[in-house]
Chain A
């Protein structure tokens, strides 16, 4: 089966401007719109100091609320009267600004996003407002049992590591953040040599370069170097913890310390998570939902991360089925270390993963996002071609070996009415 879509069909251009900005352009005339993604590399949750957890998120919440020339209302009115969408988000491994417009409005919105990135003022009243709202959001996360269980799991797996905390931070760390922290963060990460811009839509390479040059061309690299940081090392120390809550369902989550996107085991783990947890024909869905009716939601996921990513599998079930669901989930995961997948199973998982990977690049937003993300991870846009090749080469021996190395010692987090 072969399905070539979106980015893989179109000409992709990648150039580095004199001031260090990496620019990726995909010309796609299909629809009257342009999507732009602006990645600040090495920003985001991963480089936060634990006492400042939530800093990137707060920067994202306040950065669109004032520049040297424009107030929060000015900015919102400019965006909305154009009918564009413009936003900032902190993510685990990067900080992102995004823009989507009909083609005609792209130049004026690009001008605006340039101003936001280069001269935000972080007004004190806006900082205080967004701090208070963030603290309320942190409390609201406790309303969803899955979030409660996942937060607990994350803290168990990643003690003293940024991945152990929610992107929002904690009530305590957010309360301690100040305007000066936001300004410092901006000075550290917002610089042209730390920026990758990825554009997809109804725009030519020449137009894109000229527009970006106009808005960002005179942005100088500051004299001080980019900070170098070292990640704390993680040790595997599995444990099991439960939180008692009066919920209708028990939530059981298994977490395994797996590996980063740079590891040779990455494609194998991606394939395993697809085999176990993706779609109506996935192993967990068929065995635990279709055949036993234990759950509505049972799945697995393995996110793409710069540092050691978690491999996660979960099930929500009636309290009286907690034990049987837990055994079932564990048995299915550990089976992979003991039993080799058949050729049909392996090929099926590959077809599914590759098909869905291609289908995930249909919109301009999706195309701009994935290429910019790979660039910001330092993998380069080639990774978009390499990844499917790597998947195609995975063998059942590798699946078994990788399952043996990573998927035998789970951290287990539970939330439900019958735990004490």
Chain B
């Protein structure tokens, strides 16, 4: 077992990172003030790992994991964790699937082995596969009744032309009906292997106990399989305005979402720069677009901006809820404000405000073992875990000149995708 040291010496990394001989990564942090432990297991097996025809498989598999293994009956894990006062859940994204439990430290040895076993040895029984598919179809139906979800799916298809990020994580009903349990087993045995997994343990457990428990629970993996290959092509840059309009029933407000592609997680500094720009544009009451569009000109019900860091082409969005008649004007104002970011340096006071907001937001969102485990696992899956703690330092170090360069590079007022939803 090899201990990996943080790449940057000046950063004191509060957790320890280990790699087992089989390739599994363990991240551990002991917090002595809490009796709670969180175990969060991250797998590089999100929707982007699916062959195109297998769309929806990663998320459907996340559901099927909870249907047990040869050693753990259906519902046995759920009962073990909840009957001992703990909580378990899971989530799937394009870049990952992760499975987490929160429990009293004393209960970890009675619960983590169950979770490890169903993760490593999911049975995926045929009859359960068919039953659970109905649940996934209900999840899709329910999402389709949410106009903001529908809008976001449309936007992803609009902006991503080649990358799997264009696909819905939930998949499509038609394709889901064609998937077989054997294909799912193949997907599972290809991806749920040690080199693709990170086990994060944070909370009231000491290092030796943590490592030994993970060692015991995550020793035997399934026999490897090999999925049909999936090729991820780099997303080409936008060279025009990709415009899309949808008419939806039952919506009271129109929506406008403008989006830009940027770097992947390997270029964290630019990503954090885009985070700062999203705060400056529409991340708070003082931000430029909230002040102008919501408070002064009163053209929108709300306006927001978001940067979501992904493994590959990350996504920067600006969204507004508004009356259909104001769509053109609001789009034009947003373009003008982007042009301003290119033309003029952000005043120091305004930049400091955005830095404080993001810096403190980081402190506020790393308070509990669950939040910490999530941050470590996420960064280790899409980039490197050390980057997680560089975030606050980078936030404070980026200059107005750098932000101007970043705005210039990524946020073009001429080339973007725009998805508009109008009431039918």
Nearest chain A residue, comparing its CB with the CB of B349:
A81
Q: Nearest A residue to B67 by beta-carbon distance?
A: A290
**A363 pairs with B135, CB closer than 8 A:** no
B79 within 8 A of partner (CB): yes
Chain B neighbourhood of A279, CB < 8 A: 78, 82, 87
A1 — which chain B residues lie within 8 A by C-beta? Answer: 84-85, 104, 107
Residue B347 is within 8 A (CB to CB) of chain A in the complex:
no
B401 CB within 8 Å of chain A:
no
Q: What residues of A have a CB within 8 angstroms of the CB of B83 in the complex?
A: 281, 347-348, 351-352
Most B-side CB within 10 Å, residue of A31, A80, A356? A80
Tally chain B residues at the interface, Cβ within 8 Å: 67
Binds A, one of B175-183, B247-255, B312-320, B408-416: B247-255
Binds A, one of B30-38, B260-268, B380-388: B30-38
Residue B52, interface by CB 8 Å: no
How distant is the Cα of A30 from the Cα of B32 in the complex, in angstroms? 10
From B220-228, B235-243, B351-359, the one touching the partner chain is: B351-359
* CB <8 Å contact, A295 and B138: yes
Contact (Cβ within 8 A) B250 A3: no
Enumerate chain B residues within 8 angstroms of A342, measured Cβ to Cβ.
none
A32 near B363 with CB under 8 A, answer yes
Partner of B250, one of A80, A246, A292: A246
Q: Number of A residues whose C-beta is below 8 Å from B?
A: 67
Tally inter-chain residue pairs, CB-CB below 8 A: 177
Segment from A113-121, A133-141, A179-187, A398-406 that makes contact with B:
A133-141
User: Which of B35, B146, B295 is in CB contact (< 8 Å) with A5?
Assistant: B35
Determine if A77 and B286 form an interchain contact, defined as CB atoms under 8 angstroms apart.
yes
Q: B145–A293 contact, CB under 8 A?
A: no
The yes or no answer to A296 lying at the interface (CB within 8 A) is: yes
Q: Is B352's CB under 8 angstroms from A140's CB?
A: no
Known contacts A81-B356, A289-B135: A140-B252 contact under CB 8 Å: yes
Q: A5-B35, A348-B79 are in contact. Are A293 and B131 (CB under 8 A)?
A: yes
A249 to B249, CA, bound (A): 14
Give the Cβ gap from A41 to chain B, nearest Cβ, in Å. Answer: 27
Partner of B132, one of A133, A293, A297: A293
Q: How far is the CA of A72 from the CA of B290 in the complex (A)?
A: 13
Whether B285 pairs with A76 at a CB distance below 8 angstroms is yes
Question: Does A317 reach chain B (CB closer than 8 Å)?
Answer: yes
A residues in contact with B359, CB < 8 Å: 83
Contacts of B249 in A (CB 8 A): 246
B123 sits at the interface (CB 8 A): no
Instruction: Give residues of chain A (350-369) contacting chain B, Cβ–Cβ below 8 Å.
Output: 351-352, 354-356, 358-359, 362-364
Q: Which A residues are CB-close (under 8 A) to B298?
A: 129, 132
Instruction: Please state if B286 and A84 are interface contacts (CB–CB under 8 Å).
Output: no
- Interchain CB contact under 8 A, A136 and B82: no
The contact of A362 among B34, B132, B251, B355, by CB within 8 Å, is B34
Which residues of chain B from 124 to 142 have a CB within 8 Å of any chain A CB? 130-139, 141-142
In the bound complex, what is the Cα–Cα distance between A322 and B278 (angstroms)?
43
**Contacts A76-B284, A316-B142; A33 near B250 (Cβ below 8 A):** no
A294 within 8 Å of B (CB atoms): yes
Check: B88 CB closer than 8 A to any chain A CB: yes
B35 partner, pick from A3, A132, A348, beta carbons under 8 A: A3
Most chain A CB inside 10 Å of its own CB: which residue of B75, B138, B294, B355 = B138
Q: Is B321 an interface residue (CB 8 A)?
A: yes
- Do B145 and A33 have beta carbons less than 8 Å apart? no
Indicate if A73 sits at the interface (CB-CB under 8 A).
Answer: yes
A245 at the interface (CB under 8 A from B): yes
B3 to A: closest C-beta gap in Å: 27
Q: Which of A45-53, A142-150, A203-211, A232-240 contacts B (4 or more CB under 8 A)?
A: A142-150
User: Does B360 sit at the interface, judged by CB under 8 A?
Assistant: yes
CB of A288, distance to nearest CB on chain B (Å): 10
Q: Which residues of A273-310 have CB atoms within 8 Å of chain B's CB atoms?
A: 279-281, 286, 289-297
- A108 part of interface (Cβ distance < 8 Å): no
B136 and chain A: residue at smallest CB distance: A296
Known: A4-B35, A129-B295, A293-B135. A356 touches B363 (CB 8 A): no
Contacts of A317 in B (CB 8 A): 138
**Measured between alpha carbons, how far is A30 from B145 in the docked complex, in Å?**
43
Interface mask (B305-335 → A, CB under 8 Å = 1, otherwise 0) = 0000000000000000100000000000000
Considering only CB atoms, which chain B residue lies closest to A144 in the complex?
B146
Instruction: Enumerate chain A residues within 8 angstroms of B138, measured Cβ to Cβ.
Output: 249, 293-297, 316-318
9 A/B residue pairs, CB under 8 Å, sorted by A: A3-B104, A73-B291, A140-B321, A248-B145, A280-B82, A281-B83, A316-B138, A355-B104, A362-B369
Chain A residues close to B by CB (< 8 Å): 1-5, 30-33, 72-73, 76-77, 79-85, 100-102, 129, 132-133, 136-137, 139-140, 142-145, 245-249, 279-281, 286, 289-297, 316-318, 347-348, 351-352, 354-356, 358-359, 362-364
List 8 tightest A-B contacts by C-beta distance, closest first.
A355-B85, A83-B356, A293-B134, A83-B360, A280-B78, A296-B139, A248-B141, A139-B252
